[in-house]
Structure 1
Amino acid sequence: MGTVRRIAGAAVAVALVPVFAGTAEASSPSETASVISDWNAVASATLLGDTGKAPQEIFIYLAFTHAAMYDAVVGIHPRYEPYRRHARAPRHASATAAAAAAGHKVLETYSPYAQAALDDALAGSLAEVPDGAAKTAGIAYGERVAQDLIDLRAHDGRYAPVQYTRAPAPGVWRPTPPAFAPMAVPWLGGVTPLLIRGVAQFAPPTPPKLTSRRYTRDFAEVKALGSATSTTRTAEQTATALFFSGNVGVQVNTALRDQAAVRGLDIVDAARMFAAVNMTTLDALIVTWQTKLDRAYWRPITAIQLATTDGNPATTADPAWTPLLTTPNYPDYVSGYNAVIAASSRALENVVGPRLNLTLISTAVPGTTRHYDNGAALRADVVNARIWLGIHFRTADTEARTLGLDVADWSSHHYFRPTSHR
């Protein structure tokens, strides 16, 4: 199953890159391209500061924000197909005003604690637009598009009363030390995706049996290289691991703002890039979380400490083993970080082409950056990093990578396409 999915995903990617390459076509001179990046930064700060939301929820509301902003912009400048059809935009409306109003509407709805700051941000964006009918029409249109999206997502499975109920057993996830916290946001996998048809469309294969050679290899690798006290892991491997140990949502969206600047994207192409990446990433994360809940595969710390229970004579227990990074409170299979990086980097490739010129920051190691010319190199580093951190088996990483690539390729084939007149 995994092989078939990889081949299919690769074929779609090759076919899509020329179609979804960026364009130099300009919008109206009065439009402010930076409004999309500005509201991405506002959304990121607002959602990070929302103490009522788990870290995984940030992906949901970033995707909603950019879906609304994208539709507001392409409703006025119809260069690409909208995510959802809305009432016709007023002629000569300002897309800058529409984008800002749409972003503001989504964020004030889902993070009302930040109302004052959001109002200030909106005022700042609208100050860039001359007063008049175009500005007024743009604001009204952006708010209407955002409300359409809010209404559409009213009963989408968020916060459903889903609980993790699997009893501890060999191979089955259970809360890990030191916090022994229950599974985070178990309802996330039941949220209706934005783009794909459903979770089952991209469900990964069954993880390796505990007595398989693949599991044995994965076990030995993470035990040797992922230990907090490993003498096998090199200094460079440790640096790579720690670089990819922070907030992946912040990492990806900071890179997108840099991409918009260095590529000189206009408001339409910027809206498309941010929407394609964030909406695709959310769908990949939804599939990932449902897989975690369904497969309930144990983490390396549990597997290594309790190896005497796995029925595999080739694994040796170490009751004192701990990982380089504290294990997150959700199952191993599949890796969320890898799914996010794979989906976001492939979605970006499908929008701007294979030459990424991508600069990433680390939120875990402040002041450090890494540059990638292509997505494959980035994805390879993240697969290895999560093993070297001691929190994932290799199979959880590679299958997450495949999942993210497949979701991105399918989504790019069905959404964000140039309109027929182009």
Structure 2
Amino acid sequence: MSIKPTRRNLLTAAALTPVAIAAGSLTAESASASTVDTALEWYDLTVTTITEAGSPAQVTNSRTWAIAWLAAARAQQRETAPEFRQAALASAIHSVLSAQVPARATVLDAALTTTLSRLRNRPGKHRGVTAGREEAQALLGERAGDGLDPASVNPPYDAGPAAPGVWQPTPPSYTPGQQSGTRFARPFLLPTADAFRPGPPPALGSARNIADLEEVRLYGGLNSTVRTQAQADTALFWYGSSQVLYNPVLRAALAGSHRSLVWRTTLVALFHIALVDTQIATSDTKYHYHWWRPVTALAGTGWQPFHVTPSHPDYVSGHNIYSGAAEGVLTDLVGARTAPYTVVSPSSGTTRTYTDWATPSRENVDARVWSGIHTRSADEQGIVLGKKVARHTLREAWRLF
């Protein structure tokens, strides 16, 4: 059976089986006695599991998300019965999270028992448990040795001699380059890490280079006299982990969808698959160009950034490639606008409410400049690269099934 994917139908097309395509609405899969949304239940369990006991490497956590939810999507395709699909989802995610985050095994075991106890005791339920477990084990096997473990992501790295435009460890910790090994990891769908590598950053002394550094100097300095309070608030809001900041964004898309359970499960899987491949592309670009950070470029002036600079090259911005990929996936599959959703910032403790997927991207571009840790060129090219990886992920999603 051959189906050509098209934008918002990509998730249905990606399933590539009559079983999955026949399930067109959430209502049809909610016919069991349970009124609990199993997808949201296990989404929240994935969030808490990874937040409380996951890996310190963000891409490793994205990998766990991708494997767990892709295994669940694959398992659900075998049958259409509601009990089967809910049991398959819970079993697959439980199996992957238990294997990847063993410290949470007891909590996950109890959660699986709770989910299964709600489902009618029919043969489909038991087959769903088996299917979920089998797909989880198979996918963990497929992804073994993919280079996304913390040690492979962060090998020893020597920046080499200092020179104009060349990245060097940054104050105050002067930590060696981080995430340099991610570029060598095995992607889910990217043909190569450099498949969408952008052109070089603006040349030293060019008009754009001078303008970039002047903007960061004026608006991103620790003692800036021109940065407004609103700009400082935006910088602090987006300063934390992209993965943590985007958990409620993806949850809003999941909660707002009335599509089938397998469709919604695949939405989460493709989101994180795109983000794994995006982070591989980020590492490739950063360590190919090895471009210095503003704090190094402006070192001779006594300038200091508003926020501490992360320990890897400037070009391109990891935060913005994450935003670009997330925006690309959600816009293509869910639509440009959505019901209001709220994001809590771990770095500021404040909340912001949005009604689309693009505004967080725009804020991220500005935020990294106003934090003093990226040039605008690095931010804007990060958005572009993230969107390119997202489009490729959706175009090639059929290969995952």
TM-score range, shorter chain: 0.7 to 0.9
Shift of 1:106: 0.8
Shift of 1:252: 1.3
Distance 1:285 1:52 in 2: 15
The equivalent of 1:297 in structure 2 is 291
Q: Deviations over 1:298-321 (max 9, x none)?
A: 11111111xxxxxxxxxxx412x2
Shift of 1:33: 7.1
Q: What is the TM-score when the length of structure 2 is the normalising length?
A: 0.87
Residue ranges of structure 2 left out of the alignment (5+ in a row): 13-23
The equivalent of 2:110 in structure 1 is 120
Shift of 1:297: 1.2
Q: Deviations over 1:151-204 (max 9, x none)?
A: 101121234384322213221222211122222232212111112222121112
The equivalent of 2:157 in structure 1 is 164
| Residues 1:325 and 2:307 aligned together | yes
Distance 2:386 2:210 in 1: 25
Distance 1:293 1:162 in 2: 13
Distance 2:36 2:284 in 1: 37
The structure-2 alpha-carbon separation of the partners of 1:179 and 1:362, relative to structure 1 and needing over 3 Å to count, comes to same
Distance 1:258 1:76 in 2: 27
Shift of 1:109: 1.3
The equivalent of 2:90 in structure 1 is 100
Distance 2:335 2:185 in 1: 30
SS at match of 1:201: coil
Q: Which deviates more, 134-143 or 257-266?
A: 257-266
SS at match of 2:353: strand
Distance 1:75 1:21 in 2: 16
Shift of 1:21: 8.7
The equivalent of 1:285 in structure 2 is 279
Distance 1:41 1:18 in 2: 25
Shift of 1:209: 1.8
Shift of 1:93: 6.3
Distance 2:63 2:78 in 1: 22
Shift of 1:404: 0.7
Distance 2:36 2:354 in 1: 24
The structure where helix makes up a greater share of residues is 2
Distance 2:173 2:199 in 1: 30
TM alignment of 1:372-383, pairs within 5 A: 372-373=355-356, 375-383=357-365
Report the aligned-residue RMSD.
2.4
Distance 2:298 2:380 in 1: 20
Distance 2:11 2:74 in 1: 19
Contact 1:33 1:270 in 2 (8 A): no
Aligned partner letter, 1:368: T
The structure-2 alpha-carbon separation of the partners of 1:52 and 1:24, relative to structure 1 and needing over 3 Å to count, comes to closer
Contact 1:171 1:298 in 2 (8 A): yes
The equivalent of 1:37 in structure 2 is 40
Q: Tell me the matched-pair count.
A: 378
The structure-2 alpha-carbon separation of the partners of 1:416 and 1:26, relative to structure 1 and needing over 3 Å to count, comes to farther
Q: Deviations over 1:100-125 (max 9, x none)?
A: 11101111111112211221221122
Contact 2:11 2:267 in 1 (8 A): no
Residue ranges of structure 1 left out of the alignment (5+ in a row): 1-14, 78-90, 306-316
Q: Deviations over 1:24-66 (max 9, x none)?
A: 4644323877222222222222222236532342222112222
The structure-2 alpha-carbon separation of the partners of 1:206 and 1:163, relative to structure 1 and needing over 3 Å to count, comes to farther
The equivalent of 1:405 in structure 2 is 387
Q: What is the TM-score when the length of structure 1 is the normalising length?
A: 0.83
Distance 2:50 2:100 in 1: 9
SS at match of 1:369: strand
Aligned partner letter, 1:224: L
The structure-2 alpha-carbon separation of the partners of 1:70 and 1:318, relative to structure 1 and needing over 3 Å to count, comes to same
The structure-2 alpha-carbon separation of the partners of 1:260 and 1:19, relative to structure 1 and needing over 3 Å to count, comes to closer
Aligned partner letter, 2:206: S
SS at match of 1:224: helix
The equivalent of 1:62 in structure 2 is 65
Distance 1:261 1:343 in 2: 20
- How many percent identity over aligned positions? 31
